[in-house]
Structure 1
Amino acid sequence: MNKPDVSYSIFQDWRANRGNIKAQFILSLFRLATWVRSNKILIILFIWYLPFYRFFVEWVMGIELPWSLKAGRGLKLQHGQALVVHGQTIIGSNCGLKHSTTIGIRMNPDGSVGRAPIIGNNVDIGAHVCIIGAIEIGDNVAIGAGSIVVKSIPPNCVVVGNPARVVKVNEPVTSSYS
């Protein structure tokens, strides 16, 4: 990620979190940490920043957004607290994360570590949701509060429950300008 990408991502995150200064601040710190981590020279110059980021965001603010996380532009944090996201997770653009959400990996029966989830674009993840394992969540999905997602979710739907199940399939969003 180069510097123009970082600044553009920060502005997109700020726009998505308009009025939420805490989320804007945390996501700015996150984007800077991913930028520092992307270049060996930056790591050397800003070696102090990575421990500061981890201490402040994880310990003080109570949000685990590792700098290894790949998150698209326009990430929205609503009520950002008790949020845990595994560092290998991939999150698309314009996604929303609410409080007390866990996105992580599953340990395989042989003791090996599984793959982290891949989350598409325009996904709204409700409060107290757990997304666990090597699954994919399609674009334009809404996940209801308290859902436990352990299987892949197709695009354009609403899922709820434990385990999460599709309760509504929406028509794909198409542009009238095409």
Structure 2
Amino acid sequence: MNFFAYLFQDWSANRQNFKGQLVLFLFRLVQVFNRYTITKIIFYPYFMLYRFFVEWHLGIELPRKLTIGKGLSLYHGQALVVNKSVIIGENCVLRNSTTIGHKKLANGTFSNCPRIGNNVDIGANVCIIGDITIGDNAIIGAGSVVIKDIPANSIAVGNPARILENK
């Protein structure tokens, strides 16, 4: 994939959503600069600008070491927090006030982070925590708390999330 195609790979998934396009463009650019030590040094001011503008001003925490497939859509990306160890597949949707990350275990250590498959639609105010897998084409309903694996092609809702039906 060429440089410009990489930077704009989420552009069409966020049509009519300039904020989503801007945030994901800046995220992809910070990932490019994060690949090599020399670019980390040269573009250190950009890392600070990214952190200040995207994380602090816009309230969207997408760390530079995060792994995201192409075609991510951000709907109303306010209060969105994603841990740097999360893996998100292609063509996923994230909505506002969503938290995705690890949980603290009884022995004081932290669990692994979630792995989210392709074409997953995550509703608003969702909390996904722990060493879990969300299968391809799953839908997570708004306000759900996901602490167990969600199989592919299913709909999960509630606190704690339960499988409503398979598509």
What's the offset of the Cα at 1:11?
2.5
Mapping of 1:20-35 within 5 angstroms? 20-35=17-32
- Between the aligned partners of 1:7 and 1:142, the Cα distance in structure 2 is 31
Equivalenced residue count is 167
* Residue 37 (structure 2) aligned to one of 36, 40, 51: 40
- Between the aligned partners of 2:156 and 2:36, the Cα distance in structure 1 is 39
When residues 149 and 119 of structure 1 are mapped into structure 2, their CA distance, relative to the original with a 3 A threshold, is same
| Bigger Cα displacement from structure 2, 144-153 vs 43-52 | 43-52
What's the offset of the Cα at 1:124?
0.2
Q: Are residue 98 (structure 1) and residue 109 (structure 2) matched?
A: no
Q: Are residue 140 (structure 1) and residue 112 (structure 2) matched?
A: no
Q: Are residue 155 (structure 1) and residue 140 (structure 2) matched?
A: no
Q: Which amino acid aligns with 2:165?
A: K
* Residue 111 (structure 1) aligned to one of 108, 120, 125: 108
Q: Are residue 68 (structure 1) and residue 77 (structure 2) matched?
A: no
Q: Which amino acid aligns with 1:47?
A: Y
Unaligned runs of 5+ in 1: 171-178
TM-score by length of 1: 0.91
What's the offset of the Cα at 1:45?
1.6
> Percent sequence identity over matched residues?
54
What's the offset of the Cα at 1:12?
2.6
TM-score by length of 2: 0.97
Unaligned runs of 5+ in 2: none
Counterpart position of 1:128: 125
- Between the aligned partners of 1:134 and 1:74, the Cα distance in structure 2 is 24
SS of 2:148's partner is coil
Could you list the structure 1 runs, at least 4 aligned residues long, displaced by more than 3 angstroms after superposition.
Answer: none
User: How large is the RMSD of aligned CA atoms in angstroms?
Assistant: 1.1
Q: Report if the CA contact (8 A) 1:13-1:24 is conserved.
A: yes
